[in-house]
Amino acid sequence: MRFRLVDRILELDAAKHVPAEKWIPPEVDYFVDHFPGYPTVPAVLLVEMMAHAAGEFLLADIARTQWPVLVQVTHAHFRKNVKPGSIVGIDATIESCNDRTVRTRGCITCKGARVAVSSLMFGSIPKDLLAANLDDKMLRLSLMA
């Protein structure tokens, strides 16, 4: 399984807000075990979708030498299940920031209903710890649009 949990950034307001979306393919392997006969997207992946969306707008605004990393899930609430074949809307907004951390609020909707919300905290690591010439294709395409 790949952990690319945002398909498309709909709009990018760097370091403020990002709406995005993700299509949940019916054939992803986690549906086999989660749950047999009643497949739903695992809650931890919903949190990761919100973190990924927030990371995109943080990347657009932080120093090119840094990479945002999730350091804390302050809270997460799950209201409805997300089923195979769904398209979810992902929204992330900055709540607060200081020199070391950024707090974001995330929300996932499906078919107009709120599915999950979270409050997440990000720090950053030096980009040179990651693979050489790392490029975030989704962010690059969003900035060009």
pLDDT per residue rounded down to tens, the chain (145 residues): 567 899 999 987 765 889 999 999 999 999 999 999 999 999 999 999 999 999 888 887 766 788 899 999 999 999 999 999 999 999 999 999 898 999 999 999 999 999 999 999 999 999 888 888 776 666 665 555 5
Q: Distance between CA 125 and CA 35 in Å, rounded?
A: 35
User: What does each C-alpha distance from 85 to 26, 39, 41, 89 come to in angstroms?
Assistant: 5, 11, 10, 13
Extents of the domains making up the chain: 8-138
Catalytic residues: 34
Indicate the pTM of the whole model.
0.90
- Paired tokens of 39: 């497949």
Q: Distance between CA 87 and CA 108 in Å, rounded?
A: 10
Instruction: Find, among 59, 63, 46, the residue nearest to 138 by Cα.
Output: 59
Q: Distance between CA 84 and CA 50 in Å, rounded?
A: 18
Domain 8-138 maps to which CATH number in 2.170.190.11, 3.40.50.720, 3.30.565.10, 3.10.129.10? Answer: 3.10.129.10
Alpha-carbon torsion (62, 19, 71, 24), positive or negative: negative
